[in-house]
A and B are shown apart, each in its own frame.
Chain A
Amino acid sequence: MDINRIKQVSETEWMAHPHGTMRVPGVIFADEVLIREMDDKVYEQMVNVATLPGIVKASYVMPDGHWGYGFPIGGVAAFDPNEGGIISGGGVGFDISCGVRCLLSQQTRDDVEKVKEALAHQLSRSIPAGMGRGGRLTFSLSELDEMLMGGAKWAIAQGYGEQADLMRIEEHGCMNGAQPYEVSDKAKKRQQDEMGTLGSGNHYLEVQEVTEIYQDKIADAFGLSLGQIVICIHCGSRGLGHQIGTEFLRDMALKAEEYKIKLPDRELACAPINSPLGQRYLGAMRAGINCALANRQIITHLLREVWDLTFPEKSSLNLLYDVSHNTCKVEDYLVDGKLKELYIHRKGATRAFGPGHPSLPPLLQKTGQPVFIGGSMGTVSYVLAGMKGAEARSFNSSCHGAGRALSRHQALRQWQGKQLIKDLEDQGILIRSPSYRGVAEEAPLAYKDVTAVVNVSEKAGLSTKIAKLVPLICIKG
């Protein structure tokens, strides 16, 4: 990014003052290295978002910001319904409620090394990944309607998981306000055999070792210890979410003129929150959130079955937390001394409530919310925690991952899947994927340095580092 277009406010904050049709400033959290690496398109997209009706305070970009459809990935924007604020499908993303959950095992690296091959094999057999792999479960349309209302709560009632899991999931496992009847039959049919599947692209299930602890007290409260094995699951609302995104993007683009919204980019298609179309999208999007929560819950169940078989004597896998990074949620914030109910779009950005936030369960009140930052096959991941003060800085938002440095084309030219799998195996990381080409496209070096992103997030006061995780097994779509 050309840094002459923005003004450096602090070591980790850059600002684009309102100009043209911008209603608020643009704010990017990054250091000079990250900002120079960012695409100029990120600047344009941040500016475009700042022109949308009802936006409050600023159009934000997290340290992992990169080009997205309409909104940048890593984009955060709050809208006030009483000021004509909008809701945008492009501000949520196609993969509604894509997110990460982390489970805590009682195993150490040595325990896993003894059974590593067999465990990787069993996980890849039990948890479907990749294109063309339907799940082991099939649901009727009426069962899916119940799932869309109930989320992880529904999944647990069906026997996929434990009641205790619910306290460790955002919204306690069930997003209120879901309206399954606003989700098309097409979207539901696309999902009928996709529950409990990872999908492809950058989605994964990873068995990881905790190799570094940065803050003992919080790590202890999270149940994390050095040498411990944890499992992270990264996926979203699968075909159903994609179909909702596709259909509403089209409807919103065609209706923009009627709502007198000038779109600088068609991908910014949106509708006023207080409009029939805005309300329909909200109901469908919330149903999509429940789909993602239920999906990750079922995958957790499949994982626990494998763990039971592999480690029968110490098989418990407690959920640390489940966080989404593609959502729009209603949250209260003080703006100019007034408490306002705002619609917070986080696209490729993680909600990161600080200590004491009323939405957190009692066990996490002192620590702040766990935030998971996924690496990319072979690179490290991080557990962070929400910080006090992020409320005013970024509407309690933090980064979500590394972000691509190279396109899929460039990655394909540079790496071969088969060789990559062998190289990673030599480093002690087992990759299991149905597609060599898919692995090549997701090569670790095709992504930016996740450590740099996390360090800036901490320095900027968005979230604080708790633990580093190194992958041992990666099940990839």
Chain B
Amino acid sequence: MKHAKEKWELFSHKADMGIRGFGSSFEKAFEQGGLALMGVLMDPAQVTLQTSIRISCSAPTMDMLFYDWINELIYEMARQHLVFGQYHVKINEVQGGDLVLEGEALGETIDVEKHQLAVEIKGATFTELKAEKNELGTCIVQCVVDV
């Protein structure tokens, strides 16, 4: 069941679009952030979960890991012409302090007529890039994506 803390939203930005994910853990927030990424293009609830791909990345900090996660998703969307509707994320800290993400993205091949995608996303950026826990214990991840 979806936790009450889990949600995603887009935030306005001068030329591009901001994506934000909320979760009871950073893992859940990353999953919601992935849905927000899709929200820039279309309603992620309309994506049929037909195919699944594995994604892994690592970074020295949580915000940089979110930057990498979003960029990996953008890469797979561009490379394999996919849209995603669901994610599963696991984050572990390895020796030396790096954070390692192992994830799964579920979705389908882009159907131009059906999906009516708004724009093509070029990449995640450092603008408004944050990964933090608020006073209520909710994890929030966000950044602006270049479109």
Are the C-beta atoms of A435 and B117 separated by less than 8 Å?
yes
Q: How large is the interface on B (under 10, 10 to 19, 20 to 34, 35 or more residues)?
A: 35 or more
Q: Specify which chain B residues have a CB less than 8 angstroms from the CB of A157 in the assembled complex.
A: none
Are the C-beta atoms of B122 and A409 separated by less than 8 Å?
no
Task: State the CA gap A296–B147 with chains docked (Å).
Answer: 20
Are the C-beta atoms of B81 and A186 separated by less than 8 Å?
no
Contact of A435 among B15, B116, B122, B123 (CB under 8 A): B116
Are the C-beta atoms of B118 and A438 separated by less than 8 Å?
yes
B12 sits at the interface (CB 8 A): yes
Are the C-beta atoms of B115 and A39 separated by less than 8 Å?
no
Are the C-beta atoms of A441 and B126 separated by less than 8 Å?
no
Shortest Cβ gap from A224 to chain B (Å): 31
Q: Determine, out of B24-32, B44-52, B71-79, B88-96, the stretch whose residues face the partner at the interface.
A: B71-79
Residue of B nearest to A437 (CB): B118
Residue of B nearest to A253 (CB): B126
Number of CB contacts from chain A to chain B under 8 A:
111
Q: Specify which chain A residues have a CB less than 8 angstroms from the CB of B117 in the assembled complex.
A: 130-132, 434-435, 437-438
Per the 8 Å Cβ criterion, residues 106-122 of B in contact with A are: 110, 112, 115-122
Are the C-beta atoms of B14 and A404 separated by less than 8 Å?
yes
* Majority secondary structure of chain B interface residues (helix, strand, loop or mixed): loop
Per the 8 Å Cβ criterion, residues 63-90 of A in contact with B are: 66-69, 73
Task: State the CA gap A410–B15 with chains docked (Å).
Answer: 10
Are the C-beta atoms of A249 and B146 separated by less than 8 Å?
no
Per the 8 Å Cβ criterion, residues 107-155 of A in contact with B are: 130-134
Are the C-beta atoms of B126 and A249 separated by less than 8 Å?
yes
Task: State the CA gap A91–B17 with chains docked (Å).
Answer: 20
Task: State the CA gap A436–B12 with chains docked (Å).
Answer: 19
Task: State the CA gap A437–B116 with chains docked (Å).
Answer: 8
Are the C-beta atoms of A266 and B129 separated by less than 8 Å?
yes
Q: A438-B117, A477-B120 are in contact. Are A190 and B17 (CB under 8 A)?
A: no
Q: Specify which chain B residues have a CB less than 8 angstroms from the CB of A394 in the assembled complex.
A: none
Residue of B nearest to A198 (CB): B120
Question: Residue-by-residue, is B117-136 near A (CB-CB < 8 Å gives 1, otherwise 0)?
Answer: 11111111111010000000
Are the C-beta atoms of B126 and A94 separated by less than 8 Å?
no
Contact of B15 among A194, A249, A407 (CB under 8 A): A407
A340 sits at the interface (CB 8 A): no
Q: Specify which chain B residues have a CB less than 8 angstroms from the CB of A39 in the assembled complex.
A: 14
Shortest Cβ gap from A256 to chain B (Å): 12
Q: Specify which chain B residues have a CB less than 8 angstroms from the CB of A254 in the assembled complex.
A: 60, 64
Q: Specify which chain B residues have a CB less than 8 angstroms from the CB of A436 in the assembled complex.
A: 116
Question: Residue-by-residue, is A406-437 near B (CB-CB < 8 Å gives 1, otherwise 0)?
Answer: 01111000000000000000000000001111
Question: Residue-by-residue, is B1-22 near A (CB-CB < 8 Å gives 1, otherwise 0)?
Answer: 0000000001011111100000
Per the 8 Å Cβ criterion, residues 339-397 of A in contact with B are: none
B55 sits at the interface (CB 8 A): no
Q: Please tell me the number of chain A residues within 8 Å of chain B, measured between CB atoms.
A: 46
Q: Specify which chain A residues have a CB less than 8 angstroms from the CB of B14 in the assembled complex.
A: 39, 41, 66-67, 404, 407
Are the C-beta atoms of A245 and B123 separated by less than 8 Å?
yes
Contact of B115 among A132, A189, A190, A266 (CB under 8 A): A132
Q: Specify which chain A residues have a CB less than 8 angstroms from the CB of B12 in the assembled complex.
A: 407-410
Q: A186-B75, A435-B117 are in contact. Are A246 and B110 (CB under 8 A)?
A: no
Task: State the CA gap A69–B117 with chains docked (Å).
Answer: 24
Task: State the CA gap A477–B124 with chains docked (Å).
Answer: 20
Q: Specify which chain B residues have a CB less than 8 angstroms from the CB of A131 in the assembled complex.
A: 41, 110, 117-121
Residue of B nearest to A132 (CB): B110
Task: State the CA gap A131–B10 with chains docked (Å).
Answer: 19
Question: Residue-by-residue, is A286-322 near B (CB-CB < 8 Å gives 1, otherwise 0)?
Answer: 0000000000000000000000000000000000000
Shortest Cβ gap from B80 to chain A (Å): 10
Are the C-beta atoms of A190 and B79 separated by less than 8 Å?
yes
Contact of A404 among B15, B71, B122 (CB under 8 A): B15
Are the C-beta atoms of A409 and B120 separated by less than 8 Å?
no
Per the 8 Å Cβ criterion, residues 28-53 of A in contact with B are: 39, 41
A250 sits at the interface (CB 8 A): yes
A242 sits at the interface (CB 8 A): yes
Task: State the CA gap A211–B137 with chains docked (Å).
Answer: 61
Shortest Cβ gap from A43 to chain B (Å): 14
Are the C-beta atoms of A408 and B125 separated by less than 8 Å?
no
Supply 18 further A-B pairs (C-beta < 8 A) apart from A201-B119, A201-B120: A69-B126, A94-B123, A131-B119, A186-B75, A190-B79, A200-B119, A239-B78, A239-B79, A246-B71, A246-B123, A246-B124, A249-B126, A266-B126, A267-B126, A408-B119, A409-B13, A436-B116, A441-B119
Residues of A at under 8 Å CB distance from B? 39, 41, 66-69, 73, 94-95, 130-134, 186, 189-190, 194, 199-201, 239, 242-243, 245-246, 249-250, 253-254, 265-267, 269, 404, 407-410, 434-438, 441, 477
Q: Can you offer 18 A-B residue contacts whose CB atoms are under 8 A? A: A69-B126, A94-B122, A94-B146, A134-B81, A189-B79, A190-B75, A201-B147, A245-B122, A246-B123, A246-B124, A250-B64, A254-B60, A254-B64, A404-B14, A410-B12, A435-B116, A435-B117, A477-B119
Question: Across chains A and B, which 10 residue pairs bring their CB atoms closest together, nearest first?
Answer: A132-B110, A437-B118, A200-B120, A131-B120, A266-B126, A409-B12, A246-B123, A242-B122, A131-B117, A200-B119
